[in-house]
Amino acid sequence: MALTKKTARWLYRNCRESFAGKTVLITGANSGVGFKSAELMAYLGADVIMACRSGEKANAAKAALLREYPDARIDVMPLDLADLSSVAAFAERLRAERIDIDVFLHNAGVFRKPGQTTKDGFELVLGTNYLGAFDLAERVLPYLASLPHGVLFVNTISIIHKIGRIDYDDFFCRKRYGNFAVYARSKLCLAKYTYRKAQQYENKGVRIFMSHPGISITPLGANAFGPVVRRLSSVFGWIFNSPEKSALSLPYLMSNEFPPGSVVGPRGFLNGWGYPSRNGIARKVRTGGEELIAFTRALLARAGNRTDA
């Protein structure tokens, strides 16, 4: 599990500032890019909070990290984005316990869940990747802005957001469901929302950005397509960006200053491979944010959910 020598060299060249004393909260930190992000933070001396749906998997991931980094400070918090009551309880705990956070990386997400719904009755992929993430951000951003220091907030999108489309008349794709279309829509919505919130919080002490892993095979994708894809990914994994390389976007963001709403991801061909750099932002991400936010708030309100922001 130890970081590769190439990663260690990249971190030495690009992250000269010490991360000791920083508290980094990562959602979906028990596997894939989220786990590697947690490992990078432990390696760099930061305190880590793993916010995960499965306590069993989170504690197993924590134990694995502590075997490699025995002096690391790692905590686990429950958070299920497919259950808005869990999101509310998580945000309330942050406020009630005045948990100090320097960096908040939202990484959790799901893919390829046809016919499944969240606890609140929404299509599972859009309900988790966008509505759950929206509700989470709306609840925690005011708290983060109240802390006596600056905070870095990062939403993880996907390179596939570039082909996403939003249809407000059939938002949950009931007429025609496609695994990639629904996933792309969820990530486009999250990108548009994040870009708009970045402008709103620019002078409130919270710097908001987006990151994406590029073309990377993680348990999210491999497990969604079953054993054949898992075997192929193990054989041809060298073709893709490794979760470890994709996770470097977080320390890269922590070590640089970018305009609010910037996107960081691999710098190689089509932003699919390579070490992190600042990527361009599609026009459809920069426009329509207010309309989407109003639609989403109305959607959640009809479901009986209220947020604090």
Catalytic (active-site) positions: 183
Q: What are 151's strand-pairing partners?
A: 206
Distance CA 267, CA 275 (A): 6
The two three-digit tokens of residue 222, written as one number: 């491999």
Helix (H) or strand (E) run with residue 25 in it: strand 23-27
The C-alpha angle with vertex 187 and arms to 225 and 308, in degrees rounded to 5, equals 125
Alpha-carbon gap, residue 176 to 78, rounded angstroms: 34
User: Do 186 and 177 meet the contact criterion of CB atoms below 8 Å apart?
Assistant: no
Cα 10 to Cα 36: distance, rounded to the nearest angstrom: 15
Burial of 294 from C-beta contacts in 10 A (0-12 / 13-18 / 19+): exposed
3-class secondary-structure state, position 15: coil
